[in-house]
Amino acid sequence: MRDQRFVAKHRGGALERAHHQLLAVWAADCAEHVLLRFGEAEADDRPRQAITVARVWARGDIRTGFAQKASVVAHAAARELGDPIGIAVARAAGHAAATAHMADHCIGAAYYALKAIEASQGACEPEQAWQAAQVPEVLREWIVSAMRSRFPARFGGIQA
C-alpha cells in the first residue's frame, strides 16, 4: 500500500500542493548534486533537461504530463548508457521529474544519486547527510522516515 503522505490531496491523499512542489525541488537538488559532480563529461543533455523540468513543474509553469515525458526520456538515456555512474545520474534525474506525477519518486532521486556516488567508489555518508539537510524543515521528519522504510540498507542510518 502506498504511503498516503505522498498521495496528492486531489487524489484522496494527504499531500498539499505546496509540499508536493517542495518535494520536486528537493528531488531535483539531489539529482543535480550528482549531475554536477559526474555529468559534465556527458554529451547527453536529457538528464539535465529532466532536472530543469522538475523545477519548472514545481513553479507551476508546466503540466504534470510534460514532466512525466521528461522522466521517460531521462530513463531512456539511462538505458542507453554503459557507464554505471551515468546510468545512476540519469535515473536520479528521471525520478526527479517523475515526482510531479507521484511524489514518492523523490525518494528514487535520492536513492539513485547515492548509487552514482557508490559507483564512483565514493563515500555515501556525506551525500546522505547532504540530502537530509536539503529536505525542507516542514517535511524533514516524514521524508527521512520514508527514506529509512523504503530503503533501509541505504538510508537506515540517516538522521533527521
Tens digits of residue pLDDT in 108-128 = 999 999 999 999 998 888 998
Predicted confidence (pLDDT) per residue in 40-87, tens digit = 556 789 999 999 999 999 999 999 999 999 999 999 999 998 889 999
Q: How many CB atoms lie within 10 A of CB 94?
A: 28
pLDDT of amino acid 66: 95
pLDDT of amino acid 39: 67
Predicted confidence (pLDDT) per residue in 80-109, tens digit = 988 899 999 999 999 999 999 999 999 999
Which pTM was predicted?
Answer: 0.91
Q: In whole angstroms, what is the distance from residue 148 CA to residue 107 CA?
A: 10
pLDDT beyond 60 at 11: yes
Q: In whole angstroms, what is the distance from residue 30 CA to residue 26 CA?
A: 6
Domain ranges of the chain: 4-155
